[in-house]
């Protein structure tokens, strides 16, 4: 399932994400030599509709066209077939950022999918090559700042993250994400670059990768606390399967079980006090239509949410991230996450 290359295929530097399948047969790991031998690993298009990573890599490689890279670079092009249709993943496919091997267990589960075996192959290959650092480039669908996500509270991870943004998010859920898999091998980060149609997101990601290619090492010394705003993702918010949902202004009548405001994503990265309404509910509805799960997989909905006068309100002060206006993403993944300041 995995193609491994050691040269740039013709046309790769200028194609659109939708046309990448004409150049690459599917998921592809590309190794390019550089002056320093330990490779920087970059993954793009783990979600086929998040195209900033591809644009960033294309811009970077065009810059070095005809010149040797400062460091060896390994690039994983993920869900090429979903990118051809502009979708997160195709029907029948797993989410390419939920199937990476996490933890110390090197044995694949008995019912592992071909995609899970492929991700393990990528990790094993980069372990053998003594990967220097890992960057997973993503977009999101809501209004969010650019920020970096890490899985270990260690100085090298902090230094890597603050090269991208002062805003840093620590998380351990969901499992199966690329950064968790690589965090056992090297400093690893997921970078969130806003919406995919914003050119400055690709520029920011390109410059960050370029900076990392020039690093000789990531220091072990502590980071100045004033150099970053650190948050901890404490819970994931999902929509219960049987619940109907939509977006509408507060004055508009609806028949949905839950109606989100059309500017729900404006709550992202704002420290909200207890009692803040985040949606309105069908008349006489008392059951929570959303499910909130903590880092250990426990249902903590009652800890964070309450119903009051037809409104779904926060029970405690939190900061949301990745609240989205895309119902498909809500159904496929989640409404968003809840964070607390560290």
- With cut-offs at 50, 70 and 90, classify the pLDDT of residue 108: low
Residue % of the chain over a pLDDT of 90: 92
In the predicted structure, residue 104 carries a pLDDT above the cut 60? no
CB 321 within 8 A of CB 308: no
Q: What tens digit of pLDDT does each residue of 279-306 get?
A: 999 987 778 999 999 999 999 999 999 9
pLDDT of residue 31: 98
- Which domains does the chain show, CATH number per domain? 3-227 (3.40.630.10), 233-341 (no CATH)
pLDDT at residue 24, rounded to an integer: 98
DSSP string, 38-106: EEEEEEE-SSTT--HHHHHHHHHHHHTTTS-EEEEEEEEE--HHHHHTT-SS-TTPPPTTS-S--SS--
pLDDT in tens, 120-158: 999 999 999 999 999 999 999 889 999 999 999 999 999
- pLDDT tens profile 224-281: 988 999 999 999 999 999 999 999 999 999 999 999 999 999 999 999 999 999 999 9
């Amino acid at each position: 399932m995995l193609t491994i290359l050691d040269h740039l295929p013709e046309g790769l530097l200028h194609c659109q994400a939708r046309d990448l399948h004409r150049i690459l047969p599917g998921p592809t790991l590309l190794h390019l030599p550089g002056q320093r031998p330990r490779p920087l690993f970059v993954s793009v298009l783990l979600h086929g509709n998040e195209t900033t990573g591809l644009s960033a890599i294309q811009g970077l490689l065009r810059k070095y066209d005809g010149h040797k890279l400062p460091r060896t670079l390994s690039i994983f092009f993920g869900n090429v077939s979903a990118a051809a249709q502009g979708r997160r993943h195709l029907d029948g496919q797993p989410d390419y950022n939920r199937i990476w091997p996490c933890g110390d267990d090197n044995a694949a589960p008995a019912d592992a999918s071909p995609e899970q075996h492929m991700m393990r192959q990528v990790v094993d290959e980069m372990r053998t090559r003594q990967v220097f650092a890992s960057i997973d480039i993503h977009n999101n669908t809501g209004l969010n700042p650019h920020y970096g996500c890490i899985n270990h509270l260690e100085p090298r991870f902090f230094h890597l993250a603050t090269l991208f943004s002062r805003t840093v998010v620590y998380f351990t859920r969901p499992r199966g994400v690329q950064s968790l898999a690589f965090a056992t091998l090297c400093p690893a980060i997921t970078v969130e670059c806003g919406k995919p149609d914003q050119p400055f997101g690709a520029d920011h990601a390109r410059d960050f990768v370029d900076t990392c290619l020039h690093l000789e090492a990531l220091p072990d010394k502590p980071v100045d606390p004033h150099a970053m705003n650190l948050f901890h993702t404490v819970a994931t918010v999902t929509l219960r399967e049987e619940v109907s949902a939509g977006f509408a202004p507060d004055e508009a009548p609806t028949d949905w079980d839950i109606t989100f405001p059309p500017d729900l994503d404006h709550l992202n990265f704002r420290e909200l006090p207890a009692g803040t309404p985040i949606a309105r509910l069908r008349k006489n509805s008392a059951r929570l239509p959303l499910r909130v799960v903590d880092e250990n997989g426990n249902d903590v909905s009652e800890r964070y949410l309450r119903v009051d006068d037809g409104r779904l309100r926060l029970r405690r002060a939190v900061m949301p991230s990745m609240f989205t206006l895309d119902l498909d993403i809500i159904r496929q993944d989640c409404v968003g996450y809840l964070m607390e300041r560290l």
